[in-house]
């Protein structure tokens, strides 16, 4: 385990020689991306998770560039940036101009937000659309960022033909050196198997980013990915803040003198997944990074693992198996 200030990385076996830091900052629904990214980088985070649909690739890229300019001891290659292709080109006429236009907070003030994006006839999940979409993401990050470490297809929703074509576009981006690795998000085992069985596919997804936390463990999918060398990245690892008062978690937190969030994040790490918790609060960003130098004992891991509710325990909207 690394020192307290240096979160470790693990190799992406399907994208050598690249490693992915096991702790990243997620910026979905961030209302102050620039300062949160700076806080995270100052707290030792070296991985950032953005997406076209978050409308904050530019704030993320600008914050990384600013941090690098004032921190000569850290270079671009020390920082791992992930972004994701949305299934429609958000720059097309008629598309929502900003995140506020598509995101609707939950009625009772806590829990998952609802994201609505009008469907257009055209999808960016074509070979050319994926290349264009990637180029838009890279450009949005500003002149200080000239490659993206990891680029994902955000979801499998557009269907098998579109998924394959978009993947063939992403393969070209890797071969052109503009992305170091490519992967998928919200994909089921079936989606991955179908993709890699295709003769035109010569790069296997390096990661599958899925919802993952004690109440939604996707056990079979995680096992499948880990057997294949596909790194699982856990999104909403803190259940969007909704389950942190669980009595089992609070009991274990008291035993270790840690917070509920730290216990949940530490459990995720010990399950061998990468975590990307989101926070806009400087003290929580730091709290969520204090995960080294201690570990949960097997019996406590088991108590948390027993909290699994399967897909009904998800805090977000998406079930990978629900898509064609
Ligand atoms: N691929 C996908 O489809 C997908 C879907 C969802 C998310 N993601 C990625 O995963 C990242 C994380 O997921 P998420 O944002 O959905 O949820 P999350 O990280 O599970 O939870 C974030 C929520 O928890 C609160 N929080 C953070 N740290 C806390 C702490 N120590 N104690 C108590 N509350 C805390 C945050 O509030 P404050 O900000 O006020 O601290 C925020 O409301 C996203 O930002 C995004 O990058 C990807």
Q: CB-based contacts of 49: which residues, under 8 Å, 6+ apart?
A: 24, 25, 26, 27, 28, 82, 209, 233, 235, 276
Q: CB-based contacts of 137: which residues, under 8 Å, 6+ apart?
A: 52, 57, 83, 85, 148, 151
- Supply the pLDDT for residue 253: 98
Residue ranges lining ligand 1, Cβ < 6 Å: 26-29, 49, 185-186, 209, 235-241, 244, 259, 261, 276-281, 284, 287-288, 316
Q: May I ask the CATH class of domain 16-314? A: alpha beta
Q: Where are the domains of the chain?
A: 16-314
Question: Going by CA atoms, what residue is nearest to atom 22 of ligand 1?
Answer: 240
CA 236 / ligand 1 centre spacing (Å) = 5
- Supply the pLDDT for residue 212: 98
pTM across the whole model: 0.96
The tens-digit pLDDT sequence of the chain (324 residues) is: 334 466 899 999 999 899 999 999 999 999 999 999 999 999 999 999 999 999 999 999 999 999 999 999 999 999 999 999 999 888 887 778 888 877 777 776 666 666 666 565 678 999 999 999 999 999 999 999 999 999 999 999 999 999 999 999 999 999 999 999 999 999 999 999 999 999 999 999 999 999 999 999 999 999 999 999 999 999 999 999 999 999 999 999 999 999 999 999 999 999 999 999 999 999 999 999 999 999 999 999 999 999 999 999 999 988 999 998
Query: Ligand 1 pocket test: which of 278, 282, 314, 323 has the largest number of ligand atoms within 8 Å of its C-beta?
Result: 278
Q: CB-based contacts of 160: which residues, under 8 Å, 6+ apart?
A: 191, 194, 324
CA 240 / ligand 1 centre spacing (Å) = 5
Question: What's the half-sphere exposure (Cβ side, CA atoms, 13 Å) at 128?
Answer: 1
* Rounded CA separation 153/51 (Å): 10
Question: Which helix (DSSP H) or strand (DSSP E) does residue 21 occupy?
Answer: strand 19-21
Strands (E), 60-109: 80-85, 103-104
Q: Per the residue annotation, which of 54, 125, 151, 235 is the catalytic one?
A: 54
Task: Work out which ligand 1 atom sits closest to the CA atom of 234.
Answer: 10
Query: Can 54 be counted among the known catalytic residues?
Result: yes
CA 151 / ligand 1 centre spacing (Å) = 20
* Rounded CA separation 140/135 (Å): 8
CA 25 / ligand 1 centre spacing (Å) = 9
- Supply the pLDDT for residue 2: 39
Question: Going by CA atoms, what residue is nearest to atom 21 of ligand 1?
Answer: 240
């Amino acid at each position: 385990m690394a020192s307290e200030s240096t979160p470790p990385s693990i190799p992406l076996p399907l994208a050598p020689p690249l490693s992915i830091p096991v702790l990243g900052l997620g910026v979905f629904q961030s209302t102050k991306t620039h300062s949160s990214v700076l806080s995270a980088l100052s707290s030792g985070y070296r991985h950032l998770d953005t997406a076209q649909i978050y409308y904050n690739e530019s704030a993320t890229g600008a914050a990384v560039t600013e941090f690098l300019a004032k921190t000569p001891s850290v270079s671009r290659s020390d920082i791992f940036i992930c972004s994701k292709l949305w299934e429609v080109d958000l720059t097309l006429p008629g598309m929502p101009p900003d995140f506020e236009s598509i995101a609707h907070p939950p009625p009772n003030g806590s829990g998952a937000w609802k994201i609505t994006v009008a469907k257009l006839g055209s999808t960016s999940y074509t070979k050319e659309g994926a290349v264009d979409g990637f180029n838009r993401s890279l450009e949005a990050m500003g002149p200080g960022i000239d490659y993206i470490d990891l680029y994902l297809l955000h979801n499998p929703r557009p269907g098998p033909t579109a998924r394959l074509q978009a993947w063939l576009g992403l393969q070209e981006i890797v071969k052109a050196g503009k992305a170091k690795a490519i992967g998928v998000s919200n994909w089921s085992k079936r989606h991955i198997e179908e993709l890699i069985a295709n003769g035109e596919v010569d790069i296997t997804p390096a990661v599958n980013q899925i919802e993952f936390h004690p109440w939604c463990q996707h056990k079979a999918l995680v096992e499948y990915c880990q057997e294949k060398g596909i790194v699982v990245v856990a999104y909403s690892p803190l259940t969007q803040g909704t389950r942190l008062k669980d009595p089992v978690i609070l009991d274990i937190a008291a035993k270790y003198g840690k917070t509920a969030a730290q216990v949940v994040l530490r459990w995720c790490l010990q399950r061998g997944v990468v975590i990307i918790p989101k926070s806009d609060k400087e003290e929580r960003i730091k709290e969520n990074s204090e995960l080294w130098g201690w570990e949960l004992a097997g019996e406590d891991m088991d108590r948390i693992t027993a909290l699994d509710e399967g897909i009904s325990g998800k805090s977000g909207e998406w079930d990978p198996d629900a898509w064609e």
